[in-house]
Structure 1
Amino acid sequence: MNRPPNTTARAQAGVMLLEALIGILIFSLGILSLVALQATSIQLTSDAKFRTDASLLANRLIGQMWASGLNTAGLQAQFSTACTDCTTYNAWLADVQGIDGLPGVVAASGGVDATLPVVTVDNTGQVVITMFWRTPQMATSGANSSHRHVVVSQIVRNP
């Protein structure tokens, strides 16, 4: 038995609208995924920039240590974090905290964890520079409240 033509048309009513809505839904999910991918890409790019800046700033200080011609005791006195009146270290620290430096590099105060770089020079001439920075989205204290980059170098003069 064949159905009359208008019975078939009534059974198909709204199917094209449903297909269009499903197509729009799939397209919208694809666009939202691309937007999320772009946001993640921008965040990872800025993280890479900060890591590169931290590496360059640490290498600049190591270069200044090599160029200074100081022995291990002189390096400890002039470049370590324990140094109180070090013009070279303080100038480097100002670069780290400056406009072209790392974001969120601050001393500890009012419940905010310190993110100042730590420079240690041991008796064998091994230099360890630990750089910290905090992006605006990060918490100011607690676990995972800053990024960290560590540079280790050996500065020893020939006798």
Structure 2
Amino acid sequence: MKTIRGNQGGVVLIEAMIGILIFSLGVLALVAMQAVSTSNVSNARYRSEAAFLANEIAAQAWIGRGANGVGTKDFKWPGGNDVTKAWVAKVETLLPQAKTYPPTITSVAGSANGYVLTITVRWKAPDALVPSNHVAVAYVTQPN
């Protein structure tokens, strides 16, 4: 019986190499998806922290309000009172590069019986190209 040796030599080896290539690309894609997922979780944590911190200083402004806006207008940064100084220190501890991109708090008389606080919390994640921010606006009325 005659064996035919055609142009089929090495086909199994090529098929195996292509299979390994496809498998390797799949593994690399899974690793990349895991890295993106980890980055997204970190960014979500920073956004949650920023929202919490903005709400915290707004609540402190409500607690510290006084008659005719005394107290509320002191909730500003840069400057401000001891409560805002402690809050800024907390922001710098919890958010990355918050010292480089400090938070701001503006206090503007909104009407005869209240102030509008605009709270901007900024940070820059380690893998980010530009800083992120969270802006909260709170209207603090004076007690009756």
- TM norm structure 1: 0.79
Q: Does 1:6 find its partner at 2:7?
A: no
SS of the counterpart of 1:105?
coil
Amino acid at match of 1:83: G
Question: Does the 8 Å CA contact 1:117/1:132 hold for their aligned counterparts?
Answer: yes
Q: Which secondary structure does the structure 1 equivalent of 2:126 belong to?
A: coil
- Corresponding pairs, count: 139
What amino acid maps onto 2:138 in structure 1?
Answer: S
List gaps (5 residues or longer) in structure 1. Answer: 107-113
Change (3 A) 1:88 1:133: same
Tell me the C-alpha RMSD between the 2 structures.
Answer: 1.9
Report the equivalent of 1:30.
Answer: 26
8 Å CA contact 2:54, 2:121 repeated in 1: yes
Residues 1:120 and 2:106 are matched in the alignment: yes
Q: Percent identity over the alignment? A: 35
Unmatched tracts of structure 2, length 5 or more? none
Q: 1:148 matched to which residue of 2?
A: 133
Instruction: Specify whether residues 120 and 66 from structure 1 end up closer, same or farther in structure 2 by C-alpha distance, changes over 3 A only.
Output: same
Q: Tell me, yes or no, if the aligned pair for 1:54 and 1:149 is still in contact at 8 Å.
A: yes
Cα distance in 2, alignment partners of residues 119 and 68 from structure 1: 15
Corresponding residue for residue 95 of structure 1: 90
C-alpha distance in structure 2 between counterparts of 1:5 and 1:26, whole Å: 37
| Deviation beyond 6 Å, 4+ runs, structure 1 | none
CA distance in 1 between counterparts of 2:117 and 2:61 reads: 9
How much has 1:138 moved relative to structure 2? 4.4
1:82 and 1:19 map into 2 onto residues whose CA distance is: 67
* CA distance in 2 between partners of 1:95 and 1:104 (Å): 12
8 A contact 1:127–1:153 mirrored in 2: yes
